[in-house]
Amino acid sequence: MDFSFTEEQEKFREEVRQFLEEEIRQGLWEPTCDSWIQAYNPEFTRRVAQKGWIGLIWPTEYGGQGRSPLYRLILTEEMLRYGAPAGCHWFADRQVGGAILSFGTEELKREFLPKIAKGEAYFGVSMSEPGAGSDLAALQTRAVEDGDYYVINGQKTWTSCSLLAHYFYMVARTDPDAAKHRGISEFIVDAKAPGLSRIPMIDITGTEAWSDLFFDNVRVHKKYLIGEKNRGFYQILHQLDFERSGMERIMGNYALFEAILKFSKENKLSQDTLIRNKLAQLQIEFEIGRLLGYRVASVMEEGRAPNWESAMSKAYSTEFEKRLASVAMEILGPYGQLMPGSKLVPIRGLASHSYLGSKGYSLQGGTTEILKNILAARGLGLPSS
Amino acid sequence: MRLALTEEQEMLRKTARDFLAEKCPMKFVKQMEESDTGYSTDLWQEMAELGWMGLAFPEKYGGGDMSFLDLAVLLEEMGRACLPGPFFSTVVLGGLPILDIGSEEQKQEYLPGLIRGEKILTLALSEPGYHNYDAYSVKLEATPDDDNYIIKGTKLFVPDAHIADYLLWVARTKPEKGITIFLTDAKIPKIKYTILKSIAGDKLCEVVFDQMPVLKANILGQLGQAESAVRKIIDRAAVGKCCEMVGNIQRVLEMTIDYAKERKQFDRPIGSFQVIQHYCADMATDVDGVRLSTYQAAWMLSEGLPCSKEVAIAKAWAGEASQRVIALAHQIHGAIGVTMEHDLHFYTRRAKAGELAFGDANFYREIVAREMGL
B295 vs A1, A288, A375: nearest CB: A1
Residue type at position A151: V
Is the previous residue joined to B128 through a cis bond, with omega within 30 degrees of 0? Answer: no
SS3 B207: strand
Select from B275, B254, B268, B273 the least CA-distant residue to B343: B254
Are B255 and B207 in contact, with CB atoms under 8 Å apart?
no
Query: Phi/psi of residue A26, each to 5°?
Result: -80, 0
Whether the CB of A316 is below 8 Å from some CB of chain B: the reply is yes
- Give the number of C-alpha atoms closer than 13 A to the C-alpha of residue A310, restricted to the C-beta side: 23
Q: pLDDT by residue for chain B (374 residues), tens digit each?
A: 999 999 999 999 999 999 999 999 999 999 999 999 999 999 999 999 999 999 999 999 999 999 999 999 999 999 999 999 999 999 999 999 999 999 999 999 999 999 999 999 999 999 998 667 888 889 999 999 988 999 999 999 999 999 999 999 999 998 888 999 999 999 999 999 999 999 999 999 999 999 999 999 999 999 999 999 999 999 999 999 999 999 999 999 999 999 999 999 999 999 999 999 999 999 999 999 999 999 999 999 999 999 999 999 999 999 999 999 999 999 999 999 999 999 999 999 999 999 999 999 999 999 999 999 99
B1 vs A4, A288, A371: nearest CB: A4
What does the pLDDT read at residue B175? 86
> In chain A, which residues have their Cβ closer than 8 Å to the Cβ of B265?
none
| Alpha-carbon gap, residue A52 to A117, rounded angstroms | 7
What CA–CA distances, in Å, run from B212 to B81, B128, B143, B145, B157? 38, 19, 10, 11, 20
DSSP state of A2: B
What CA–CA distances, in Å, run from B169 to A79, A91, B179, B233, B343? 50, 59, 10, 12, 35
SS3 B38: coil
Rg, Å, chain A Cα set? 21
* Domain regions of chain B by residue span: 7-119, 123-220, 227-371
| Closest approach of A68 to chain B, Cα-based (Å) | 12
- Give the number of C-alpha atoms closer than 13 A to the C-alpha of residue B58, restricted to the C-beta side: 8
Query: Phi/psi of residue B51, each to 5°?
Result: 85, 15
Sign of the Cα pseudo-torsion (A340, A343, A345, A348, in order): positive
| Closest approach of A42 to chain B, Cα-based (Å) | 33
Q: Are strands B148-159 and B219-220 parallel, antiparallel or unpaired?
A: unpaired
Whether the CB of A257 is below 8 Å from some CB of chain B: the reply is no
- How far apart are the two ends of chain B, measured CA to CA in Å? 30
Name the architecture of domain B227-371. Up-down Bundle (1.20)
> In chain A, which residues have their Cβ closer than 8 Å to the Cβ of B261?
381-383
- The CATH fold assigned to A7-121 is Butyryl-Coa Dehydrogenase, subunit A; domain 1 (1.10.540)
What does the pLDDT read at residue A305? 85
| CATH number at B7-119 | 1.10.540.10
- Give the number of C-alpha atoms closer than 13 A to the C-alpha of residue A282, restricted to the C-beta side: 27
Residue of A nearest to B364 (CA): A280
Strand partners, B194: B206
Are A348 and A381 in contact, with CB atoms under 8 Å apart?
no
The two domains B123-220 and B227-371 share their CATH topology (first three levels equal): no
Are B86 and B39 in contact, with CB atoms under 8 Å apart?
yes
Query: Please, which residues have CB within 8 angstroms of residue B349's CB and are 6 or more apart in sequence?
Result: B199, B200, B201
Q: How many CB pairs under 8 A join A and B?
A: 142
* Domain regions of chain A by residue span: 7-121, 124-232, 244-379
Q: pLDDT by residue for chain A (385 residues), tens digit each?
A: 899 999 999 999 999 999 999 999 999 999 988 899 889 999 999 999 999 999 999 999 999 999 999 999 999 999 999 999 999 999 999 999 999 999 999 999 999 999 999 999 999 999 999 999 999 999 999 999 999 999 999 999 999 888 899 999 999 999 999 999 999 999 999 999 999 999 999 999 998 889 999 999 999 999 999 999 999 999 998 888 888 888 988 999 999 999 999 999 999 999 999 999 999 999 999 999 999 999 999 999 998 888 999 999 999 999 999 999 999 999 999 999 999 999 999 999 999 999 999 999 999 989 999 999 999 999 999 998 8
DSSP state of A150: E
Mutate to test the interface with B, among A10, A291, A309, A316 (most CBs of B within 10 A): A291
What tens digit of pLDDT does each residue of B36-93 get? 999 999 999 999 999 999 999 999 999 999 999 999 999 999 999 999 999 999 999 9
**DSSP string of B208-243?**
EEEEEEEEGGGEES-TTB-HHHHHHHHHHHHHHHHH
Select from A163, A207, A161, A162 the least CA-distant residue to A340: A207
What does the pLDDT read at residue B130? 65
Continuous segment of H or E residues that includes residue A265: helix A254-266
| Alpha-carbon gap, residue A132 to A139, rounded angstroms | 5
For helices B274-303 and B308-333, what crossing angle results, to 10°?
150
Which of 3.40.50.1000, 2.40.110.10, 2.170.190.11, 1.20.58.190 would CATH assign to domain A124-232?
Answer: 2.40.110.10
Residue of A nearest to B278 (CA): A372
B289 vs A264, A288, A384: nearest CB: A288
- The CATH fold assigned to B123-220 is Butyryl-CoA Dehydrogenase, subunit A; domain 2 (2.40.110)
| Alpha-carbon gap, residue B162 to B194, rounded angstroms | 7
What does the pLDDT read at residue B15? 97
What does the pLDDT read at residue A215? 98
> In chain A, which residues have their Cβ closer than 8 Å to the Cβ of B328?
none
Sign of the Cα pseudo-torsion (A169, A172, A178, A181, in order): positive
Whether the CB of A163 is below 8 Å from some CB of chain B: the reply is no
Query: B281–A315: do the CB atoms touch at under 8 Å?
Result: yes
Q: What is the ipTM of this complex?
A: 0.96
Select from A329, A325, A307 the least CA-distant residue to A362: A325
Q: How many residues does chain A have?
A: 385
Continuous segment of H or E residues that includes residue A279: helix A273-301
DSSP state of A129: B
Query: B293–A383: do the CB atoms touch at under 8 Å?
Result: no
Q: What is the dihedral of CA A222, A227, A230, A235, to 10 degrees?
A: -140
Are A316 and A233 in contact, with CB atoms under 8 Å apart?
no
| Alpha-carbon gap, residue A296 to B230, rounded angstroms | 36
| Alpha-carbon gap, residue A347 to A352, rounded angstroms | 10
Whether the CB of A43 is below 8 Å from some CB of chain B: the reply is no
Continuous segment of H or E residues that includes residue A290: helix A273-301
> In chain B, which residues have their Cβ closer than 8 Å to the Cβ of A72?
none
What does the pLDDT read at residue A266? 97
Mutate to test the interface with B, among A267, A288, A299 (most CBs of B within 10 A): A288
For helices A350-361 and A308-332, what crossing angle results, to 10°?
150
What does the pLDDT read at residue A246? 87
Strand partners, A190: A167
Continuous segment of H or E residues that includes residue B49: helix B41-49
| Alpha-carbon gap, residue B275 to B266, rounded angstroms | 14
For helices B308-333 and B361-371, what crossing angle results, to 10°?
150
Residue of A nearest to B10 (CA): A1
Continuous segment of H or E residues that includes residue A142: strand A142-146
| Alpha-carbon gap, residue B207 to A276, rounded angstroms | 36
How many other C-beta atoms are found inside a 10 Å radius of the C-beta of residue B117?
19
- The CATH fold assigned to A244-379 is Butyryl-CoA Dehydrogenase, subunit A; domain 3 (1.20.140)
What tens digit of pLDDT does each residue of B171-187 get? 999 888 899 999 999 99
Query: B365–A372: do the CB atoms touch at under 8 Å?
Result: no
Supply the mean pLDDT for chain A.
95
Q: How many residues does chain B have?
A: 374
Query: Phi/psi of residue B201, each to 5°?
Result: 65, 15
- Give the number of C-alpha atoms closer than 13 A to the C-alpha of residue B314, restricted to the C-beta side: 30
What does the pLDDT read at residue A92? 95
Strand partners, A170: A126, A187
Select from B222, B218, B223 the least CA-distant residue to B188: B218
How many degrees, rounded to 5, is the angle at CA A89 between CA A85 and CA A91?
A: 110
Strand partners, A123: A167
| Alpha-carbon gap, residue A49 to B63, rounded angstroms | 54
Select from A102, A127, A365, A124 the least CA-distant residue to A246: A365
